A and B are shown apart, each in its own frame.
Chain A
């Protein structure tokens, strides 16, 4: 799919590039054509410097010029990665997902799986400094959560090998691992399971989720450090740990909804307040420089460093999210980081990719970056109609309120496709009222069947020339205008929620 996108973009002249007042080094310009998924040092270097580029868009879409893409091309690009999982189990009716790349390759990842009949895990991961970390997290996090949540007998099954890694989590999309990763992951999981079993004590779900995050991050970092003790060391692991990733995971068990957030992805719940009126309830707080309590947390942990840590709305002027997986440069002790820098300078395989900049400036009291997520619990009610999980690429373009409004309109529009149900026993006044309601719903009718695609289309447009502009940007300018977008819209089954809440005695019939 990236290839297809790139093909559309390749025909585009670079005139806009000159207008964009962005400092991009020449090396970036030459690697544009490479289009590979897995992390290579070449990609890594390019992507690393991207982190340093100012993300703010500096040119406005020039709508006077005609669209480079036809409406059909736009739709086919937008629909390339869209998918729908018809779940119809537990509280979840279906999940609409889609993503759109800005980086090449895309640094966002996502994951959709069930742990049991009414237990679901949905995750969105926004990588930075390449996709190494985000893909590792997306492949492994659910296993860690499964283990963290597992009871005694399940843990035993895992350890005895009765329950393999493939059966621990039921993915909705197919996941394939390389032989090396499979080996590595398996060993780490077994170890985690054994330790969990040894120190098994019941705890809150929130805590289990936090544990899983922290443990995975710990493992990623340990695997990535090139030390004597690390016998399995491979440069891929190093690159994964050098890169970073935000993560947003929602865990649904019956009608309990937990959202664990690490970084700047967002979750927002669409609550139907009354007919055709929806409220947007945020279920996460973005961990970025706009979040005052996050800033306070960091400054409290690192007293007297206030002038150095957050600069230009970024950690050390470099990193936008203030919590993340990976990014070991901000997590290791000063000695370890210096060691790492030496490794980079001496080892020919990775030599030159980080130059002398592995150690962040003013690196005094590490760690500066944590991997403990914030977890919000929400008890689902029949009024909760859908949950949107998305990377910041979407929320850069749309407010949470607008997102909820768009999805609500999409639901209404979808319902409206059928002919009006005219009951001749209705009097004309009520009939007219019914028709007027339909009219607003009809106006919301989307051209996209998939709600996630609908969101992405509206984030970029919805005016055709504007979408075309965003989709036909040359690769090197693209990232300055928009970010990778990953969107998943989880639709809830209100009837199930109602019945479950009744049987749980939470609400009366």
Chain B
């Protein structure tokens, strides 16, 4: 008997909780005694156990997964008028993870779009409850506790985002927390965050309500029908093979929860859904005398535990520091309404803080331990959106313990995604396209989710994950490590963030799990980065840029050029060796990619995109490539190392090692040459840097990478050459008001809004997004990218901005900070972000001269950082003083 069978038989013999017994909701009198499992509400299925259901021949959308997410998507699709929808559930509705979810509903998240999504969910549940649907939703509010000063900063940041999202939120004292929840022990608390609108509900009821409402609107739901494969023709969803036959469909939505990973593999090509189930534990107590059914939901973040009232007792669970991945050998399909074996030894780390916070629980008796598997992703964000492998294949899975609270909003925005091609809010942090192939590696996932389950653990702004690291490394990695590089991971690529001489820093940064050195204020590496910054400004530095996504696009004839012209908003038809910065817009004008394209010889184009763009940029190219196969697209990221030679001495140094003339006349800015460096040949040298300094980026065939690096280091000795990391680059570019894809530019921002109209060529002919951009040019824009310098800000003692901070214009919320950095030349704390003008109803106000609105002398800007508002000076054009050579090459001020 395999381990798995063993586990299953254990589960079936004694652990499986039988819903019919009513044990699940045992002992709850009155209102909360849900009729969950009684006959009247169990009639969603159109199948019976004996005979196979007769599935429709075709449907517009097939959804796989009858949990809270799948049913919400079905409900929202139907509500949007798409009623030709079939939902397939391999077992019974809610039988996977939904049925054992704790049902905590909160709206306060760490970023604005997710908060908005959660806010929608909560409102929807409240409305459904008011409509007479029985979700057992109670608006009892939620308390988030802080034991430390740093946690208070975290809560204040959270509170600000909640306020910006329009949620009522209060920072309160421990005593106030005690009066809201008298059972709490509060004498060790710093304070708390109180969100009165939050609440709790009975999780499976949500899914069953969605299912029932969807069915009323015409959605067909089939239980005990499993998906055997999703068939694509020419990489477009064609039909679904199920255990009960075949259904033709236009769209397929994978909402299979923890099975989503393996379901993704049941198609050709396979769809990557990186997630892994972990064991998640909570206990319920027997009724405790005097329990208030409206006790707030309590999250003791520093204790890693949460609490809610449950059937007259307390439900308490948590997110332990090192989680237990579940089902390492695969998840049995028939794991329905199943629980994993109790593991009290593992739960003990949570029992200490539970009893500490709720002393009343010490004398309570346990009713049951629930150990249910829940899905976690490599970065703790959901997997949402359109898969890159197959067109019209959508995913909503990997709920990281926030499935119930998120399901309503996820259904709404995924529906928009399916119908409109894009959700109306920026969900890029949850977009499934953020993953690269290795993220789907099961061993990696099992290792990483041990860490990502711990979503209560305090994470500082620049903190890195420490499990599942050191996977993709550049050819220079080991050398840089010896030089004292502290690495950060983007898409599993290890990039040097900064360099240190201190052994302690080095150890701390070597994928070490030790906490305690993080801060929300001036980072420990400030002085190191400052040195690197000035070395880039005054001498010459080497920055390893090997992680950048490199793509080769070519064709026999002019097809590649035509193809790129159609995708790019800038004009690609330029002489060979010209470097073209261009965006690739979607039909709404938003950035799908912001890249550098170089026409090389013979209809070949070399394209550089940000590291985080590897999957998305390729996906965008492949999605639009001519079906006749005339254009060849190759991901050559691994083929080249990237070395940025940056600083005023860079031209002389490059001359020394290559012998080519690097004068400004001979090797012009924004041009590219294929040169030899040292003994190495065929190096693509581009005269540009991504931060506006003079310099070159050398794309070196990987095997020459180390040679070129060492040649430069040796030759650069007398120029004061040194290594620099990404933090130095970030401070250089933020000071110069450069926007980066991923942090500033998103699918929801256009070149006009980000001040990059000069990179759009309307004259060259048709390209994707042209109409949208023309409309914007005609009618004006309602938001604009701006630079802010903080006043009265002491970078030594104040809490720093790290992105996500709300911007206030004349006291009114007008946007969010996207990137931040300290400007060493200007000696100012600098933030970049978008300013939006909205009327009192929240509708966008269009401006033909948005810069006038922003630069209005009477406008006062403030940035709210952890509960404190700092006055800020706004700016729309790069300050000339930040250029050493006084010759701005980016965002020039308009000629007057």
Q: Which of B151-159, B347-355, B722-730 contacts A (4 or more CB under 8 A)?
A: B347-355
* List of B residues within 8 angstroms of A422 by Cβ: 342, 344, 366
B355 with A432: CB separation less than 8 A: yes
Number of A positions contacting B (CB below 8 A): 15
B362 with A429: CB separation less than 8 A: yes
B344 with A428: CB separation less than 8 A: no
B363 with A427: CB separation less than 8 A: yes
A350: CB under 8 A from chain B?
no
Cross-chain pairs A/B with CB under 8 angstroms, 9 sampled: A427-B363, A428-B362, A428-B365, A429-B355, A432-B351, A435-B347, A435-B351, A438-B345, A438-B348
Interface of B is mostly: helix
B285: CB under 8 A from chain A?
yes
Known: A427-B364, A427-B365, A428-B366. A420 touches B345 (CB 8 A): yes
* List of A residues within 8 angstroms of B285 by Cβ: 428
* List of B residues within 8 angstroms of A442 by Cβ: 345
B670: CB under 8 A from chain A?
no
For residue A193, give the distance in angstroms from its CB to the closest CB of chain B.
Answer: 59
Residue numbers of B with Cβ under 8 A of A are 285, 342, 344-345, 347-348, 351-352, 354-355, 361-367
A436 with B348: CB separation less than 8 A: yes
A425 with B365: CB separation less than 8 A: yes
For residue A498, give the distance in angstroms from its CB to the closest CB of chain B.
Answer: 31
Interface of A is mostly: helix
Contact residues of A between 436 and 479, Cβ < 8 Å to B: 436, 438-439, 442
For residue B138, give the distance in angstroms from its CB to the closest CB of chain A.
Answer: 24
A51: CB under 8 A from chain B?
no
For residue B3, give the distance in angstroms from its CB to the closest CB of chain A.
Answer: 16
A432 vs B362: C-alpha distance when bound (angstroms): 9
A292: CB under 8 A from chain B?
no
B355 with A439: CB separation less than 8 A: no
For residue A106, give the distance in angstroms from its CB to the closest CB of chain B.
Answer: 41
Known: A424-B365, A429-B363. A435 touches B355 (CB 8 A): no
A420 with B344: CB separation less than 8 A: yes
Leading 10 A-B pairs by shortest Cβ distance: A429-B362, A435-B348, A432-B351, A420-B344, A427-B363, A428-B361, A428-B364, A424-B366, A422-B344, A435-B344
Contact residues of A between 114 and 155, Cβ < 8 Å to B: none
* List of A residues within 8 angstroms of B345 by Cβ: 420, 435, 438-439, 442
* List of B residues within 8 angstroms of A428 by Cβ: 285, 351, 354-355, 361-366
Most buried by A among B348, B354, B361, B363: B348
For residue A427, give the distance in angstroms from its CB to the closest CB of chain B.
Answer: 5
Q: Which residue of B lies closest to A442 (CB)?
A: B345
A506: CB under 8 A from chain B?
no
A425 vs B365: C-alpha distance when bound (angstroms): 6
Contact residues of A between 382 and 423, Cβ < 8 Å to B: 420, 422
A426 vs B342: C-alpha distance when bound (angstroms): 16
A20: CB under 8 A from chain B?
no
* List of B residues within 8 angstroms of A427 by Cβ: 362-365
A31: CB under 8 A from chain B?
no
Q: Which residue of A lies closest to B367 (CB)?
A: A424
A35: CB under 8 A from chain B?
no
* List of A residues within 8 angstroms of B364 by Cβ: 427-428
A87: CB under 8 A from chain B?
no
Indicate with 1 or 0, residue by residue over A20-60, a CB within 8 angstroms of chain B CB atoms. Answer: 00000000000000000000000000000000000000000
Most buried by B among A427, A428, A432: A428
B352 with A432: CB separation less than 8 A: yes
For residue A100, give the distance in angstroms from its CB to the closest CB of chain B.
Answer: 33
* List of A residues within 8 angstroms of B348 by Cβ: 432, 435-436, 438-439
For residue B418, give the distance in angstroms from its CB to the closest CB of chain A.
Answer: 47
A63: CB under 8 A from chain B?
no
Besides A432-B351, A435-B348, 7 other A-B contacts (C-beta < 8 A): A422-B366, A426-B365, A427-B362, A427-B364, A428-B351, A428-B362, A428-B365
* List of B residues within 8 angstroms of A426 by Cβ: 365-366
Q: Which residue of A lies closest to B366 (CB)?
A: A424
A438 vs B345: C-alpha distance when bound (angstroms): 8
A429 vs B356: C-alpha distance when bound (angstroms): 10
A442 vs B343: C-alpha distance when bound (angstroms): 13
* List of A residues within 8 angstroms of B363 by Cβ: 427-429
A425 vs B352: C-alpha distance when bound (angstroms): 19
For residue B513, give the distance in angstroms from its CB to the closest CB of chain A.
Answer: 19
A424 vs B352: C-alpha distance when bound (angstroms): 18
* List of B residues within 8 angstroms of A431 by Cβ: 344, 351, 366
* List of B residues within 8 angstroms of A439 by Cβ: 345, 348
A432 vs B349: C-alpha distance when bound (angstroms): 9
Q: Which residue of B lies closest to A421 (CB)?
A: B344
For residue A144, give the distance in angstroms from its CB to the closest CB of chain B.
Answer: 52
For residue A490, give the distance in angstroms from its CB to the closest CB of chain B.
Answer: 31
* List of B residues within 8 angstroms of A425 by Cβ: 365
A11 vs B896: C-alpha distance when bound (angstroms): 85
A432 vs B357: C-alpha distance when bound (angstroms): 14
Q: Which residue of A lies closest to B362 (CB)?
A: A429
A420 vs B367: C-alpha distance when bound (angstroms): 17
* List of B residues within 8 angstroms of A424 by Cβ: 365-367
Q: Which residue of A lies closest to B344 (CB)?
A: A420
A429 vs B360: C-alpha distance when bound (angstroms): 10
For residue B57, give the distance in angstroms from its CB to the closest CB of chain A.
Answer: 52
Q: Which residue of A lies closest to B361 (CB)?
A: A428
A442 vs B361: C-alpha distance when bound (angstroms): 26
* List of B residues within 8 angstroms of A432 by Cβ: 348, 351-352, 355
A442 vs B347: C-alpha distance when bound (angstroms): 14
For residue A194, give the distance in angstroms from its CB to the closest CB of chain B.
Answer: 64
A428 vs B356: C-alpha distance when bound (angstroms): 11
For residue A441, give the distance in angstroms from its CB to the closest CB of chain B.
Answer: 10
For residue A163, give the distance in angstroms from its CB to the closest CB of chain B.
Answer: 54
Q: Which residue of A lies closest to B360 (CB)?
A: A428
For residue B551, give the distance in angstroms from its CB to the closest CB of chain A.
Answer: 42
A436 vs B351: C-alpha distance when bound (angstroms): 10
Q: Which residue of A lies closest to B348 (CB)?
A: A435
For residue B361, give the distance in angstroms from its CB to the closest CB of chain A.
Answer: 5
A438 vs B285: C-alpha distance when bound (angstroms): 22
A457 vs B351: C-alpha distance when bound (angstroms): 34
For residue B362, give the distance in angstroms from its CB to the closest CB of chain A.
Answer: 4
A432 vs B348: C-alpha distance when bound (angstroms): 7
For residue A341, give the distance in angstroms from its CB to the closest CB of chain B.
Answer: 63
For residue B533, give the distance in angstroms from its CB to the closest CB of chain A.
Answer: 38
Q: Which residue of A lies closest to B364 (CB)?
A: A428
* List of A residues within 8 angstroms of B366 by Cβ: 422, 424, 426, 428, 431
* List of A residues within 8 angstroms of B355 by Cβ: 428-429, 432
Q: Which residue of B lies closest to A427 (CB)?
A: B363
Q: Which residue of B lies closest to A435 (CB)?
A: B348
* List of A residues within 8 angstroms of B351 by Cβ: 428, 431-432, 435
A245 vs B271: C-alpha distance when bound (angstroms): 73
A498 vs B620: C-alpha distance when bound (angstroms): 80
Q: Which residue of A lies closest to B359 (CB)?
A: A429
A428 vs B365: C-alpha distance when bound (angstroms): 6
* List of A residues within 8 angstroms of B361 by Cβ: 428
For residue A426, give the distance in angstroms from its CB to the closest CB of chain B.
Answer: 7
Q: Which residue of B lies closest to A426 (CB)?
A: B365
Contact residues of A between 311 and 344, Cβ < 8 Å to B: none
Q: Which residue of A lies closest to B352 (CB)?
A: A432
